[in-house]
A and B are shown apart, each in its own frame.
Chain A
Amino acid sequence: MSSRRRRCKRQLIKFTQHIARLITGTLSSDNEDEEQESTTLRYHPENLEQLQSQTHFSRQELQLLYRGFKNDCPSGVVNEDTFKNIYALFFPLGDSSKYAQFLFNAFDKDKNGSLSFEELVCDLSVLLRGTTEEKLNWAFNLYDINKDGQITKEEMLDILKSIYDLMGKSIHPRLKEEALRQHVRMFFQKMDINQDGVVTIDEFIDCCQKDENIMQSLKIFDNAV
Chain B
Amino acid sequence: MAAGVAAWLPFARAAAIGWMPVANLPMPVAPSNKNKHQDELIILNVSGRRFQTWRNTLDRYPDTLLGSSEKEFFFNEETREYFFDRDPDVFRSILNFYRTGKLHYPRYECISAYDEELAFFGIIPEIISDCCYEEYKDRKRENVERLMDDLEDNKDSKLPNMTFRETMWRAFENPHTSTMALVFYYVTGFFIAISVITNVVETVPCGYMPNQRDIPCGERYTEAFFCMDTACVMIFTVEYLMRLFAAPSRYRFMRSVMSIIDVVAILPYYIGLVMTNNEDVSGAFVTLRVFRVFRIFKFSRHSQGLRILGYTLKSCASELGFLLFSLTMAIIIFATVMFYAEKGSSSSKFTSIPASFWYTIVTMTTLGYGDMVPKTIAGKIFGSICSLSGVLVIALPVPVIVSNFSRIYHQNQRADKRRAQKVQKARLSRMRITKSGSSSAFPHSKRNGLNQSLELTGSLEEDQQLKKTTSLLESQHHHLLHCLEKTTNHEFVDERLYEQGYLQTALQNFPSQSPSLSSEEGITGTCCSQRTKKSMQPLSATHTHSHTHNLQELSALHIQCGEQQPLNTSRSSLNLMSDESGSLNCKSSGLVTTAIISIPTPPSNNYRASPDAPTPPNPDAPPLPNPGTDVVKISAL
Contacts and interface: CB of A to CB of B under 8 A. Distances in A.
A213 interface: yes
A172 interface: yes
B9 A175 contact: no
Contacts of A173: 490, 513, 515, 631, 633
A106 B22 CA distance: 17
Nearest to A135: B17
Interface stretch (A9-17, A30-38, A45-53, A182-190): A182-190
B490 A175 contact: yes
B18 A217 contact: no
Nearest to A208: B21
Interface string A118-143: 00100110011000000110110011
B621 to A, nearest CB: 15
A13 to B, nearest CB: 31
Contact of A216 (B27, B100, B442): B27
Decide if the interface of chain B is mainly helix, strand, loop or mixed: helix
A89 B14 contact: no
Contact of A163 (B6, B22, B26, B631): B22
B21 A179 contact: no
B32 interface: yes
Given A90-B9, A171-B490, A224 B625 contact: no
A167 B5 contact: no
A89 B437 CA distance: 12
A170 B490 contact: no
B39 interface: yes
B567 interface: no
A72 B5 contact: yes
A225 interface: yes
Contact of A123 (B14, B99, B476): B14
Contacts of B12: 87, 90
Contact of A182 (B1, B2, B18, B516): B516
A220 B490 contact: no
A97 B190 CA distance: 72
Given A90-B9, A167-B485, A224-B10, A172 B477 contact: no
Interface residues of A, number: 63
A223 B21 contact: no
A68 B8 contact: yes
Nearest to B505: A174
B18 A142 contact: yes
B227 interface: no
Given A72-B8, A90-B9, A90-B480, A179 B493 contact: no
Instruction: Specify which of A64, A102, A217 lies most central, judged by the most chain B CB atoms within 10 Å of its CB.
Output: A217
B7 A138 contact: no
B484 interface: yes
Contacts of B488: 163-164, 167, 171, 183
A167 B487 CA distance: 11
B490 A160 contact: no
Contacts of A170: 443, 492-495, 498
Interface in A49-106: 60, 64-65, 67-69, 71-72, 86-87, 89-93, 102-103, 106
B1 A90 contact: yes
A167 B21 contact: no
A198 to B, nearest CB: 15
A103 B11 CA distance: 10
A143 B21 CA distance: 10
B484 A166 contact: yes
B369 to A, nearest CB: 36
Contacts of B438: 89, 92
A162 B32 CA distance: 29
A173 B22 CA distance: 19
A204 B492 contact: no
Contact of A183 (B1, B9, B22, B39): B22
Interface in B402-445: 435, 438-439, 442-443
Interface string B1-39: 110111111111111111111111111011011000011
B502 interface: yes
B214 interface: no
A142 B16 CA distance: 11
Given A167-B484, A223-B30, A225-B10, A89 B5 contact: yes
B515 A182 contact: yes
B611 interface: no
A145 interface: no
A136 B18 CA distance: 9
B501 interface: yes
A90 B493 CA distance: 16
Nearest to B54: A67
A93 B443 CA distance: 10
A221 B13 contact: yes
B555 to A, nearest CB: 14
B10 A65 contact: yes
Given A124-B14, A204-B21, A224-B30, A86 B5 contact: yes
A31 to B, nearest CB: 25
A173 B515 CA distance: 8
Nearest to A63: B39
B26 A216 contact: yes
B256 interface: no
B492 A68 contact: no
B491 interface: yes
B347 interface: no
Contact of B10 (A106, A128, A187): A128
Interface string B260-291: 00000000000000000000000000000000
B15 to A, nearest CB: 5
Nearest to A125: B14
A196 interface: no
A169 B9 CA distance: 23
A91 to B, nearest CB: 8
Nearest to A103: B15
A224 B14 contact: yes
Contacts of A86: 5, 8
Given A72-B8, A220-B30, A164 B480 contact: no
Given A163-B488, A171-B493, A224 B13 contact: yes
A218 interface: yes
Interface string A183-208: 10011000000000000000010001
A189 B282 CA distance: 97
B211 interface: no
Contact of A217 (B5, B20, B480, B625): B20
Best-surrounded residue of B29, B56, B490, B512 (most CB of chain A within 10 A)? B490
Contact of B491 (A127, A171, A178): A171
A89 B513 contact: no
A214 B501 CA distance: 34
Contacts of A64: 7, 39, 56
B514 interface: yes
29 contacts: A60-B38, A64-B39, A72-B5, A89-B438, A90-B8, A93-B439, A93-B442, A106-B18, A163-B19, A164-B488, A164-B490, A170-B443, A170-B493, A171-B488, A172-B492, A172-B498, A172-B501, A173-B515, A173-B633, A179-B489, A204-B21, A214-B20, A214-B21, A217-B26, A220-B29, A221-B17, A223-B30, A224-B13, A224-B30
Given A143-B21, A208-B21, A220-B29, 15 more contacts: A65-B7, A68-B6, A103-B18, A106-B18, A138-B17, A143-B18, A163-B19, A169-B498, A170-B492, A179-B489, A182-B514, A213-B23, A213-B26, A214-B23, A217-B26
In the A-B complex, list the 5 residue pairs whose CB atoms are closest, starting with the nearest.
A68-B7, A92-B439, A127-B14, A170-B498, A217-B27
